[in-house]
Amino acid sequence: MQIKVLSEQLASQIAAGEVVERPASAVKELVENAIDAGATTINVDVREGGRKLIQVADDGDGIAAEEVELAFLRHATSKLDSAESLTAIRTLGFRGEALAAIASVSHVTVVTRSREATTGVRLALEGGHRRSQDNVGAPQGTVIAVENLFYNTPARLKFLKSITTEKRVIDEIVTHYALAYPQIRFRLTHDGRISFQSSGNGSVRDVLVAVYGADVARLLLSIDDNDGHQPATSSQSSIIVSGFVGPPSLHRANRNQITLFVNGRWIKDTRLTFAIVQAYHTLLPVGRYPMAVVFVTMAHELVDVNVHPTKTEVRFRDGNRVFGAVQRAVRDALVVQTPVRPFAQLTPTANVAGWGGSLDRQAFVRPNQAPFDLPHPAGPDVEIGYGDSAEDEPATLLGGKQLPIMRVVGQVGASYIITEGPDGLFLIDQHAAHERIIYEQFMAAQANHTIASQGLVAGATIQLTPAQATLLEAQIERLAGLGFQIEPFGPNTFMVRAIPALLSRTDPVKAVLSVVEELEQDAQPLQETIEAQIIKRVCKTASVKQGQTLSGQEMEAMVRQLEACANPHTCPHGRPTMIHLSVAQLAREFGRM
Ligand code: ADP
Ligand code: MG
């Protein structure tokens, strides 16, 4: 093919793809513009997850009538005037790309009035081309409405995520900017319903309550560090870390609840996220992550924000110092404000409230590896020696088709049941085994449509973040099929009316939260249905934990139920339920052969 310069239209559509990848990125750019314009109130209205409409209204500086069309040209910006100013960017925008990018792939209408102007102006564009411009009466500020995003880029349209996902990401963006700018009043609606609101009174704590609910916000510890190693006078090089972190007891299944801001910009940074996680070293169970909202403030010269068109990555002049400052600040907040208790020293809970048990998250901790080298765990394909000597065993012996006949010997570490079989001993992981048992029972009940549900007399209310609320709302019907009866109950609040009977001994709020947590884990293997995922989580929540002492009767009941399972050798997540140590292996260990 002949070499040609791309048409302006095509070139801007290609460039637009980098900035406006999805509806949520348009929301981000428009909100950033409103913040840069000095707004004190920002209202975001979204329809159909932003596909139909994204409207951002602010009471900021507004745009002069003679400049309004210019604002939609590529590389047109009022925020940068020289190469030098690029080295110390103080505004969220600076590339002059966003409005041009958004306009080139949608229908845009802007109404704006600058402080000085007596009347406002209304400009309509289609695919970046002006359709009309009129003078109109308007309050000071800017309203930008973006309709039919990606109408002229079918490829992009085809790859859009679900409306639910998009709503969730939009929730995340608006709530995060509300946290970074507590003095600005934010309001977000989805299809006419208020999803989030902040008061603009300047208190980050109040925004935290609006985002995470009062129960979680109350627990958050404040960080207040002034870079201990720097004298307060050398402000040019000081790094200030502030914000809030969760106590170790408030851990989550993923890193999604770690939010970072650098000089008021919400950024993604794996290293700083790691710095925060590491500050919790030994305080959290393996595979669990803290909650944190961390603001890093430093001289603008020390951070390069011009890394990527979406401006969500930054480069630090001295990354190690920033890493150290963040980690130290978080660690200090934890040490000062919580009694630090390394997990290794946790004492097991002594009583078991039946198989239900309580959802004691700290009990998820696994004791250290066995001091000696055990043979390979009995995975799904490993044959376990089947005994033949059932004849004259005492009555306490337990029989079974799938498993060898076993006699319960006792419990170690309040976590493992020891049994004796025809060929040596078995160590059964009580949590994994119980998970397997109730998983099979639950699956059978689901197949027969006989899942038992337990009504809550008073009901229980649960408050979620807007993003979590969006997720849960989309699954309410599916959850009803699994025994959860949940109803919307005010903004981001739900009323739990019933839970699966299996969870009757669990705190209903915690049970629903654990399901929400499961839903938050976006990256699931494709073949796994949402139902299967939720069922596994419910079983995990309902099962006996490590660290629970079991009575002899309870242990026998568990072993007997495990024998009845179709697949007794692994838990629903594929981990082994038991380890076999054969008579021959024991002899070898003792040097007898
Ligand atoms: P950038 O933010 O990088 O400058 P944009 O394309 O987002 O680029 O915006 C172009 C220009 O339009 C801005 O520099 C600003 O002058 C003006 N502008 C955009 N949105 C607003 C707004 N909400 N209020 C006032 N001015 C705005
Ligand atoms: Mg901008």
- The overall pTM is greater than 0.75: no
In a domain, 28, yes or no: yes
- On whether both 555 and 531 belong to a single domain, the answer is no
Selection from 582, 179, 526, 591 nearest residue 404 by Cα: 582
Q: Which of 168, 185, 201 is the last residue of a domain?
A: 201
Instruction: Indicate which CATH number applies to the domain containing 243.
Output: 3.30.230.10
For the sheet containing 185-190, what is the strand order?
129-136, 120-126, 107-113, 141-147, 53-58, 41-47, 185-190, 193-197
Tell whether 154 is covered by a domain.
Answer: yes
Pocket test for ligand 1, best of 12, 19, 33, 121 (most atoms within 8 A of CB): 33
538 and 552 in a single domain? The answer is: no
Shared domain for 458 and 503, answered yes or no, is yes
Query: Residue 127 C-alpha to ligand 2 middle, in angstroms?
Result: 18
Nearest atom (ligand 1) to Cα of 76: 10
Closest residue (by CA) to atom 25 of ligand 1?
A: 62
Same domain, 154 and 32: yes
- Are both 92 and 149 inside the same structural domain? yes
Distance 302 CA to ligand 1 centre (A): 24
Ligand nearest to the CA of 81: 1
Nearest CA to ligand 1 atom 7: 98
**Residue 530 structural domain:** 449-542
Q: If you measure from the C-alpha of residue 74 to the centroid of ligand 1, how many angstroms do you get, rounded to a whole number?
A: 11
Task: Tell me, yes or no, whether 90 and 184 share the same domain.
Answer: yes
What span, in angstroms and rounded, lies between the C-alpha atoms of 575 and 104?
51
Number of domains in the chain: 4
Q: Whose CA is nearest to atom 18 of ligand 1?
A: 33
For ligand 1, residues with CB inside 6 Å are 29, 33-34, 37, 58, 60-63, 71, 76-79, 93-100, 142
Are 516 and 564 part of one and the same domain? no
Residues 280, 326 within the same domain: yes
**C-alpha–C-alpha distance, residues 482 and 363, integer Å:** 26
Nearest to 41 by CA among 197, 266, 203: 197
Q: Does residue 374 sit in the same domain as residue 483?
A: no
User: The tokens of 13 are what?
Assistant: 């559509």
Each residue's pLDDT expressed in tens, for the chain with a length of 593 residues: 889 888 887 887 787 777 898 999 999 999 999 999 999 999 999 999 999 999 999 999 999 999 999 999 888 899 887 877 788 888 999 888 999 999 999 999 999 999 999 999 999 999 999 999 999 999 999 999 999 999 998 888 888 888 999 999 999 999 999 999 999 999 999 999 999 999 999 999 999 999 988 888 888 999 975 444 444 444 667 899 999 999 888 888 888 899 999 999 999 999 999 999 999 887 887 788 999 999 999 999 999 998 888 888 899 999 999 999 999 999 988 887 764 333 332 222 222 223 333 333 333 233 332 222 222 233 332 222 223 333 333 323 333 346 777 899 999 999 999 999 888 899 999 999 999 999 888 888 888 888 888 888 888 999 999 989 998 998 999 899 899 999 999 889 999 999 998 888 888 999 999 899 888 876 444 445 778 888 888 888 889 988 889 999 899 989 988 988 888 888 887 778 888 888 888 888 888 87
In this structure, what are the phi and psi dihedrals at residue 576, rounded to the nearest 5 degrees? -65, 145
CATH of the domain at 485: 3.30.1370.100
The first and second tokens of residue 533, run together, are 């995922």
Ligand 1 centre to CA of 364 (Å) is 50
